[in-house]
Amino acid sequence: MSFTEEITILTDQLHWLTKDQAWHYRVLPKAKSNHSFLLYCEESADQNVLSSELEILLNSEIKLAPIPAESIARLLSKYYIKDNVIQGSAQLSLHHDADNFLTNLIQEAKNLKSSDIHIESYENKCRVRIRIDGMMVERYLLKKDEYPALINKIKILSNLDIAEKRLPQDGRINFKYNDQQFDIRVSILPTLYAEKVVLRLLNNDATEIDLNSLGFSEFDLDNYLEGVKKPNGILLISGPTGSGKTTTLYATLKLLNKETRNILTIEDPPEYTLEGINQVQLKESIGLSFEMALRTFLRQDPDVIMVGEIRDINTANMAIRAALTGHIVLSTIHTNSAWGTVSRLIDMGIPPFMVASTLNTTVAQRLVRLLCPHCKRKQEFNEQAYPKQFKPFAKVDDHYMPKGCDQCYHTGYKGRKAVYEVIPIDQQLAFEIKNGNMYVQELLNERGIQTLAQNAFQLFYDGLTSIEEIFPLLLNY
């Protein structure tokens, strides 16, 4: 599994082969001596045929180094990005058209449901990458002398200082295209060769997201909805940045969004728009903090309050107050597991009895990439692929490996699903929290609570994802 990661192909080796040659023969450069090229090839390849054909094409002696087919697939996707991914040609000519290029780029990223666009410069090349399903994909290479025009264009659109090239800058673009309108957060970072720009695409319309299709198992969704239906209490979702917490929150808000309810949110920045709810942007520079917003929300006759994140005792206290006074509070918190949220709140300084009487449901979540259904490959499974300490929940004979095709930008994966762990805080669990008993594993088992690892394993078992994707989740199951 780590085999591919150990292989690095240098930029100046890449031109030994054309993209077409590399993909056709499924080979990659390894080393060069006076009269011969040493190339990686698939273990299963017929080496005689391969080397005789390549000797003619490359006009040089060929030596081959066989490695596993999946390593070749991954290396090809990484180093020889296909032309149909980079529309037209790898070298893009902007000339007088930085405007158009930027507009097309943003539209393209939006259509591909990308979250971020990275525009960056190195010593000899400039490139544009976009993040799809959490992974970066290279899309365009720019000429070095065309880079400044593009950066200036972005700075003008986001009201930033064109002359300032030594300090980081942050801005915002309100982008309009067709009848769609959305915000883009702009971050500019001066690097060694030029300024690097990251554009984060915001304000996705929340009307398309749906609690039923995020990845909850039937059992977990039942438990979660039970909590959402309660008249008050805090529902907390934990997980690292980029684990889809906000999407879950908005799917929940969508469900709660009724004419009869007053819903208020404070976020930094609001990642979705949803008609019918009142969304506030955090502005700490002028004192509009989570805490201040919450205090005001309580005077705005709310039914449901959503706070982007509980990250300090003041915000936590306000959230508790809101829940105690009969409101539903939705928020996120940085912990590793659903139960870890309880200790985190207590460590922040919330008395255990307060946590016990207000925490309604605690959820942990992660995102797992799904294998591309067009190119995934079935193989016999070897249990050594599991983490060392891991005891499998079921026996697996065959599993699927990523390969890469036109449908998945040669990544082998297409789309993501959330993996959840949902703990409803019932009377008994509240009692344990109040009494400071943090060791409740037995109680959780009795209730049939599925861990992140168990739910992730299920996706693997069903052939929807790979062992590599869930590996980190099996490490601390």
Q: Per CB under 5 A, which region of 145-153, 275-283, 366-374, 379-387 contacts Zn ion?
A: 366-374
Q: Which is nearer to Zn ion, 373 or 392 (CB)?
A: 373
List all residues 6 or more positions away from 447 whose beta carbon is below 8 Å from its beta carbon.
426
Secondary structure tally for the chain: helices H, strands E: 17, 21
The answer to whether the beta carbons of residues 66 and 47 sit under 8 Å apart is: yes
Q: Which stretch binds Zn ion (CB under 5 A): 341-349, 371-379, 427-435, 464-472?
A: 371-379
Judged by CB under 5 A, which of 407, 428, 441, 476 binds Zn ion? 407
* Residue owning tokens 């959305």: 182
CA distances from 264 to 297, 302, 358, 394 (A): 7, 7, 19, 44
Shortest distance, position 178 Cβ to Zn ion, whole Å: 29
Question: Should residue 408 be labelled a site residue for Zn ion when binding is judged by CB under 5 A?
Answer: yes
> Which C-beta is closer to Zn ion: that of 160 or that of 372?
372
Only segment of 59-67, 161-169, 264-272, 400-408 that touches Zn ion (CB under 5 A): 400-408
- Interface with Zn ion includes 338 (CB under 5 A)? no
Q: How many CB atoms lie within 10 A of CB 45?
A: 17
Distance (Å, whole) CA 159 – CA 166 = 17
Q: How far is the CB of 401 from Zn ion (least distance, A)?
A: 12
Is 373 a residue that touches Zn ion (CB under 5 A)? no
Q: Confirm or reject binding of residue 375 to Zn ion (CB under 5 A).
A: yes
Nearest distance from C-beta of residue 310 to Zn ion, angstroms: 39
The reply to whether 372 sits near Zn ion by the rule CB under 5 A is: yes
439: CB partners within 8 A, 6+ apart = none
User: Which of residues 7 and 405 has its CB atom nearest to Zn ion in the complex?
Assistant: 405
Could you tell me the smallest distance in angstroms from the CB atom of residue 85 to Zn ion? Answer: 12
What φ, ψ does residue 427 adopt, rounded to 5°?
Answer: -55, -45
Q: Confirm if 280 and 266 have CB atoms less than 8 A apart.
A: yes
Residue 27 binds Zn ion, judged by CB under 5 A: no
> Should residue 379 be labelled a site residue for Zn ion when binding is judged by CB under 5 A?
no
333 lies in the site for Zn ion, by CB under 5 A: no
* Spatial contact of 367 and 243, defined as CB atoms under 8 Å apart: yes
Token pair for 221: 């969704």
Minimum gap (Å) between residue 407 Cβ and Zn ion:
5
> CB-wise, 373 or 436, nearer to Zn ion?
373
Taking the CB of residue 176, how many other CB atoms lie within 10 A of it?
9
Which strand (E) or helix (H) includes residue 121? Answer: strand 116-121
- Of the two residues 75 and 372, which places its CB atom closer to Zn ion in the complex? 372
The residue ranges that bind Zn ion (CB under 5 A) are 372, 374-375, 405, 407-408
